[in-house]
Amino acid sequence: MPPSDDKKILEFIEAMRSAGVHIDTANARGSPHPIADGKIHRANAQGKAKSRNQHVWYVLHLDFPASGAFGDLQTGVQDTWTEKQPSAMTAAERSALKQRMIDTQCQRDEERAALNAAAAAAAALIMAETDKAPASHPYLARKGLPSFAGLRRLKKDVRYTIDPEEAPRTARAGSLVVRLYTPTSELVGAQLISDDGTKRFLKGTAKEGNYHPIGKRPEDPDAEFIIAIAEGYSTGARVHQATEYLTIVAFDAGNLAPVSKAIRKKFPKARLFFAADNDRFTAMPDGRMNPGRTKAEEAAAEVDGLVAYPEFDDHETELTDFDDLARKSGVDRVREVIDEVLLRKPVAEESNMPLLAGNYDEVDHDPVAVGHAGEVAPRALGHDNGTCFYWCPRRGQIASISMAGHSKQALLSMAPLAHWELLHPAKGGCDWDAAANEMLRRCENEGVFDPSRKVGRGVIIDKGRVVAHVGDRLIVDGNETELNLADSHWIYQKRTRINVRKLTALSTPDTKRLDALLTKLGWVTSEMGRLFGGWLAIAPICGALTFRPHVWITGERGSGKSTVMDAVAGRLLESVSIRVQGDTTEAGVRQALKDDLLPVLFDEFEAKTEDDRRRISKIIGLARQAFSSNGAPIIKGGAGGESVAYRVRSAFLFASIDKSMTLPADDSRIVTLELRGPDPNANEAARRLRADSFAQLQREMDSLLAGDFCQRFFMRSLSLVPIINKNAETFARAIAKRTGKQRLGDTLAAPLAGWLSLHHDGLISEETAAERVQSWKWLGEAIERGNTHADHDAAMVHLMQSALILDGGVRRTVSEMIARVVDGDVDFAPSYNQALLRHGLKVEVPEEPGAGATLLVSNTHPAIKTIFQGMPFHQGTLKQHPAVKPHEKTVRFEGRDKVRCLRIDLDAYGEGQDD
């Protein structure tokens, strides 16, 4: 071979390596790779788990102008090479090169078709030697999966041939066989699963757009029904086990979009949801994280689908999918997670976020043309700890690339090849070193990147403008624009699209009807319905508020909490909220929100166990930080010892039987609303009357919220953002002036301004606000309930109201027993005194007249520790109370050694209670 040809081959190999395709030049069948004969060849890729993988394909021509094409089938990378830039070629040379590329593509198509046909034939050959897979198969037994119809087991070894140039292959007896079908039910290949869980496809299997179904197909393809789409077989089988829905196995994240489009075409009226893997610790080639969720959300946006995914604690790094969730928490938990998503309306209805009234038209959006028209150049945002951050207009998101990782492939993930070749031309294409150097220097010039500037969906104030982020574009003061908003403080990242339509805001008579119905919901006092209506008005615009108060609804079983959460809040906010319940963790809430500015509806917020109390305490802490728009970010430990900052801008709605695990600092940020439960002593007629009244209220609510009411309700709040903010400031000053408590004013003012927006659309004056605060009796009751005690007051009240179990199982509170002992009750004082001593408490009543009684509290008694166990305050908090001082002497409590203790002046404590 002439030396010049050797040089061309080396340049071709270098071009492959620059693109991220690392060919193994060794060839067991003869000449080393690459073979320059103008034919398509397959070769092994270096650096893969299996050395014999055949991931690389290439074709190389050495006759002038020398050129070639190549790719990696696993990563999806493909590119071309020429020894001479097309711009420097003659017309004849360019024509020859073009024809060569066409011929190469034809060769690839022919080769692929031949491999596809061979794989389909091999699958049929293998299927002929299978029987129904037993549940005792090691793979199924280890996972606890049943054997569903369609899953087969190979009875004996089967030899088959895919590529005539390769030796025959063997499918081993005992392997599970998962068939792949086209949407027209043609067998195209198979995946084999061994006893130990190793999976491999028959070489040549046409995977893209093809799938394996689990469950019964509907007889009528135009019927309305639910279809689940999952990645792997075990995930799909687990989802089908939990739901009994027809489940489609797409085999990997990259195939979710092609498969879902095929399913949507085949079943146009089906409701699709994706049972996504939560690969939260896995990076994608373009720098984004979590391919399972990311690909599912992208696919869902294309087919109007929903996405459900399991959530795990941060330390559970090996758990990612619904099969893992089932083995950890049971199949019922899988169903619960999926139901949380399916209880909403489909995305096509759910995501219709109404707009401000304005002059704009519905437009078709090119999914890659985000940003200014024609803009493709990535914009440097800054750097942090060895990572550079870029805004990518075509993607509409932020890319993060390590400083050492600015490879050709990484740069191409941000902008097309033509962009880089235009800015950094070089022989053979682009000067990639120069391109990387320029981007690195730009990031350095921008300084340290501030991640808190990232904004997801929701409403926010941006330099005086009201901006609604609806997924793939913005609504700025009523007008549509791209995500790359000029002169913006925030970075608006592309999210799943929220469809919008032109709608007019609700009229005041409509919102007054809503307010009237909300007051009928069985609240302990009617003003609670007004505050709830006000909170519902401000919740979807919470990201634009200065303060974001939270609401906690309590009520015993049968009080109507589910109706309030589902039929009222769930419907009014269904397209602009995040809904969670039960065992959801603080990390799960953060991951569900990402950077979205949406309210969080949290049902079944119960603290039944110690684990529940710890989990709830963390979530309340998250809500505490979300209260203020300027609050400090939440800092968590991250990988490699680095910290990760989160800033949450959400208003929370909690619902539970009882309120628990809150500190006074939390109570001052939470509006507590209580629903009245059924009277256990009511007669049959009274119970029937309550049921009939409730049913009538539900009918009225259903009638009111029908159609586009909920979307128009949001649009009214969106159009009144400046008014609501200004009125909230005015009410906050009036309440603070009346009570002397600014925090109470900040908490009540926002829902009060929201309630006022249901009745008026104008500003309220300082004088009128002050007069209303004084004259509205219902507001006075809300203010009184909003007054919270300090932590030491809460600890003291908890101690005094704790019920102790006496002989015979009788319960008495500490304060009740203290009163009997101090009064010298001849019937009860002796036994109560002994009971208090057994719990580390001792009442001392001085003999001299006029002297006050005291209560001594042991510092070390286990019963005292039990009383405070699980509470957000502890025994030591008592020391801060003005009626408490350390006792100067040690004291013996019921036969124990003398110990140190606290002394509570009961007279001083009583006076404080009176105040």
| Residue range(s) of every CATH 3.40.1360.10 domain in the chain | 207-342
Of 883, 901, 836, whose CA–CA distance to 863 is shortest? 836
Positive or negative: CA dihedral 747, 748, 753, 758: positive
- Per the CB < 8 A criterion, the answer to whether 794 and 663 are in contact is yes
- In sequence order, what are the beta bridge partners of 628? 547
- Alpha-carbon gap, residue 659 to 675, rounded angstroms: 12
DSSP code at position 543: G
Per-residue model confidence (pLDDT) at position 791: 67
- Alpha-carbon gap, residue 554 to 662, rounded angstroms: 14
**Mean pLDDT computed over 411-436:** 87
- Alpha-carbon gap, residue 431 to 677, rounded angstroms: 73
Per-residue model confidence (pLDDT) at position 728: 92
- In sequence order, what are the beta bridge partners of 67? 61, 82
Q: Which two tokens stand for residue 784?
A: 């009184």
Write out pLDDT tens, residues 459-511: 999 888 999 898 878 888 877 788 888 788 888 888 877 765 657 788 899 99
Residue 645 has pLDDT above 70, yes or no: no
**Mean pLDDT computed over 702-717:** 87
Per-residue model confidence (pLDDT) at position 630: 54
Q: Sorting pLDDT into bands at 50, 70 and 90, what band is 621?
A: confident
- Alpha-carbon gap, residue 736 to 747, rounded angstroms: 10
Query: Cβ-count burial of 647 within 10 angstroms (0-12 exposed, 13-18 middle, 19+ buried)?
Result: middle
Q: Which amino acid is at 160?
A: Y
Of 621, 652, 665, 660, whose CA–CA distance to 788 is shortest? 665
Query: What's the N-to-C CA distance of the chain in angstroms?
Result: 102
Q: Sorting pLDDT into bands at 50, 70 and 90, what band is 908?
A: confident
Residue 710 has pLDDT above 70, yes or no: yes
Per-residue model confidence (pLDDT) at position 360: 29
The arrangement of secondary structure in 207-342, i.e. its CATH architecture, is 3-Layer(aba) Sandwich (3.40)
Reduce the DSSP state of residue 765 to 3 states and report it: coil
Per-residue model confidence (pLDDT) at position 914: 43
Per-residue model confidence (pLDDT) at position 194: 93
CA 562 to chain centre: 23
Per-residue model confidence (pLDDT) at position 375: 62
Write out pLDDT tens, residues 858-880: 988 888 988 888 776 777 778 87
- Specify the range with the lowest mean pLDDT, choosing from 221-230, 523-532, 737-746: 737-746
**Mean pLDDT computed over 172-197:** 93
- Cα separations in angstroms, 153 against 3, 168, 173, 640, 896: 55, 21, 8, 44, 70
Q: For 352, what's the count of Cα atoms within 13 Å in the CB-facing half-sphere?
A: 17
Q: Sorting pLDDT into bands at 50, 70 and 90, what band is 435?
A: very high
Per-residue model confidence (pLDDT) at position 2: 59
- Listed in sequence order, the residues at least 6 apart from 683 whose beta carbon sits closer than 8 Å to its beta carbon are none
